[in-house]
Amino acid sequence: MSDIILDVQHLNKSFGSKHVLKDVSFSVERGHIVGLVGPNGAGKSTIMKAVLGLFNYASGQITIDGDAVSPTSHQAMDKVGALIEYPGIYPFLTGMQHLKLFSKETTSQDQIDEIVDRMKMTTYIDRKAKTYSLGMKQKLGIALALVNRPKFVILDEPMNGLDPQANKDLRTIILDLAKQGTTFLISSHILSELEKLIDDLVVIDKGQIVYKESMATLESGGKRLLVVKTSDDDKATTILTQNGYQLDQTAGVSIIETDDTKMADVIKLLSDNGIDIEDVQHVHSDLETSLLELLKNDKVKES
């Protein structure tokens, strides 16, 4: 068995004359949680649908666990669970009936009950789905994606409409399953949530992959700042610059940290010069900052 569970090579897809996916190639390692992010209309849902064999594509190859996937080749889908865009729900069935309807013969009632319990849906699972709120439907959609214990799970904006507690529960479930070997491909605009989950990041913009790296690489590439709040910011800025510290222009007194920046040295330098320090903070650039930077650069490149 290879370490790659999903492999997408040179995928091209057009809707009419609109070229929506342009030579998209990426792969997903077994057991990893991969984030797929990009602006609205970038093509995230389209990639996911192609991976699920929901439509024909002009050219390219998609394989899941070594089996080719296309609308006419669906064997690999036995290992896949998915929630795309919004959950499809029959208003006249209860949540439990949905889970029974879509569960495989090999899925036991205990397994169904377990996912209901973990998603905290027990109080309303026997109610008709037409009475569900947005978040309740979303949870049911996630439960449907997970109920058959698939090896590979695709979630398109799963945090949509979930309250903070449900978000946290979902995170715990995903991390648990990943630890047991389940692979996830997750798209989301809630980067602060996504950041807590993912091992790897794939960024897509206007149908092209613009970035694919592990989170570790992304984090080490970002700027780290030491932000100090003082009684006299102007004076502090002058003194720090004179002493060879690189300052970031964005906000207040922000020292760009290098490997030999020591907080103690900074504090000593400033207090020796009669400046009082009110607050010191380490600031890591988060996924949002990195991503916005990335997409900004890309636009510059294109024009």
Ligand X SMILES: Nc1ncnc2c1ncn2[C@@H]1O[C@H](COP(=O)(O)OP(=O)(O)OP(=O)(O)O)[C@@H](O)[C@H]1O
273 binds, among Mg ion, ligand X, other proteins, none (CB under 5 to 8 A by kind): none
If binding is defined by CB under 8 A, does position 49 make contact with other proteins?
yes
Q: Which of the stretches 1-9, 66-74, 163-171, 234-242 binds other proteins when contact is defined by CB under 8 A?
A: 66-74
If binding is defined by CB under 6 A, does position 46 make contact with ligand X?
yes
**Could you tell me the smallest distance in angstroms from the CB atom of residue 4 to other proteins?**
20
Amino acid code (one letter) for 1: M
- What are phi and psi for residue 274, nearest 5 degrees? 75, 25
Q: Which of the stretches 38-46, 86-94, 119-127, 269-277 binds Mg ion when contact is defined by CB under 5 A?
A: 38-46
**Could you tell me the smallest distance in angstroms from the CB atom of residue 33 to ligand X?**
19
CB atoms under 10 Å from CB of 127, counted, come to 14
**Could you tell me the smallest distance in angstroms from the CB atom of residue 162 to other proteins?**
18
Toward Mg ion, which CB reaches closer, 153 or 239?
153
Toward other proteins, which CB reaches closer, 160 or 254?
160
If binding is defined by CB under 8 A, does position 89 make contact with other proteins?
yes
Q: Which of the stretches 5-13, 39-47, 199-207, 267-275 binds Mg ion when contact is defined by CB under 5 A?
A: 39-47
Strands 18-29 and 4-15: antiparallel
Which residue in the set 8, 20, 202, 287 belongs to the binding site for ligand X (CB under 6 A)? 20
**Could you tell me the smallest distance in angstroms from the CB atom of residue 10 to ligand X?**
18
If binding is defined by CB under 6 A, does position 208 make contact with ligand X?
no
If binding is defined by CB under 6 A, does position 51 make contact with ligand X?
no
If binding is defined by CB under 5 A, does position 190 make contact with Mg ion?
no
Query: In the numeric block, which tokens belong to residue 57?
Result: 């594509």
CA distance 39 to 295: 9
Q: Are the C-beta atoms of 182 and 151 separated by less than 8 Å? A: yes
Pick from 153, 183, 8: nearest CA to 80:
153
Q: Are the C-beta atoms of 63 and 6 separated by less than 8 Å? A: yes
If binding is defined by CB under 5 A, does position 39 make contact with Mg ion?
no
Radius of gyration over every alpha carbon of the chain, rounded to an integer in angstroms: 24
Binding track, positions 9-48, relative to other proteins; x by CB under 8 A: ------x---------------------------------
CA distance 95 to 122: 10
If binding is defined by CB under 8 A, does position 91 make contact with other proteins?
yes
Residue 213's DSSP bridge partners are: 201
If binding is defined by CB under 8 A, does position 97 make contact with other proteins?
yes
71 binds, among ligand X, other proteins, Mg ion, none (CB under 5 to 8 A by kind): other proteins
Q: Are the C-beta atoms of 280 and 226 separated by less than 8 Å? A: yes
64 binds, among other proteins, Mg ion, ligand X, none (CB under 5 to 8 A by kind): none
Q: Applying CB under 8 A, which residues contact other proteins?
A: 15, 49, 52-56, 71-72, 74-78, 80, 82, 84-93, 97, 101-102, 105, 144
Residues that bind ligand X (CB under 6 A): 15, 18, 20, 38, 40-46
